[in-house]
Amino acid sequence: MNANIVIVYHSGYGHTSKVAEAVAAGSGGRLLAIDAEGNLPEGGWEVLERASTIIFGSPTYMGNVSWQFKKFADQSSRVWMAQGWKDKLGAAFTNSASVNGDKQTTLYTLFTLAQQHGMLWAGTGLMPSNAKTADRNDINYLSSFAGLATATPSDASVDELVAGDLATARAFGERIAAASRRLA
């Protein structure tokens, strides 16, 4: 595990957790879950303080981050006061039911959070799979650049995430780990 990379995320029903696990597998990063009340576990803020790279993750609910993630973001204003995350590397992912589903708004919220903190930003760095021959299981089929986007059908269980999305999440994690090494 690479303690320099922390994946801090919320998942209401477990689907975004699966994406977070794939990002962790690719990056070697440590998972840090925001709970159902919007709180971090004991010592969570210190884990983030020590990290050089923070990857933010949230499901898209009503076109934006979940309220639990927003509570975490608002609580991070205490860190902002001391500029504690300035110049750390930031990146983000979101998962939702629809292929579009307004995920871009969620990614922009996560990007804005990172920029308010003065963080550096890394996108997916993944080429799109948008040709006629493209298959749903191709890497970056959703063709997102600003951050990782995955789509889990609304009736899929947590064991039924699209394999290509999980592979894309691993590739995204590898990309963020490589970017993190370049800044070290």
Ligand X SMILES: Cc1cc2nc3c(=O)[nH]c(=O)nc-3n(C[C@H](O)[C@H](O)[C@H](O)COP(=O)(O)O)c2cc1C
Strand partners, 6: 30, 54
61 secondary structure, DSSP code: B
Total number of residues that touch ligand X (CB under 6 A):
19
- What minimum distance in Å lies between the beta carbon of 49 and ligand X? 26
Q: Which two tokens stand for residue 36?
A: 């159902």
Site string for ligand X, 129-168 (x = CB under 6 A): -----------------------x-x--------------
Q: Quick count: other Cβ atoms within 10 Å of Cβ 168?
A: 29
User: Is residue 32 within 8 Å of residue 40, measured between CB atoms?
Assistant: yes
Nearer to ligand X, 57 or 90 (CB): 57
Residues 33-72 that bind ligand X (CB under 6 A): 59-63
* CA-angle at 6, arms to 42 and 76, nearest 5°: 60
- What minimum distance in Å lies between the beta carbon of 133 and ligand X? 26
174 scored as a contact of ligand X (CB under 6 A): no
Q: Which two tokens stand for residue 164?
A: 């290509």
Binds ligand X (CB under 6 A): choice among 4, 15, 117, 173: 15
- What minimum distance in Å lies between the beta carbon of 22 and ligand X? 13
Nearer to ligand X, 14 or 41 (CB): 14
Q: Give CA separation, 178 vs 5, 9, 61, 143, in Å.
A: 11, 21, 30, 20
Q: Which residues form the interface with ligand X (CB under 6 A)?
A: 11-16, 59-63, 95-98, 101-102, 152, 154
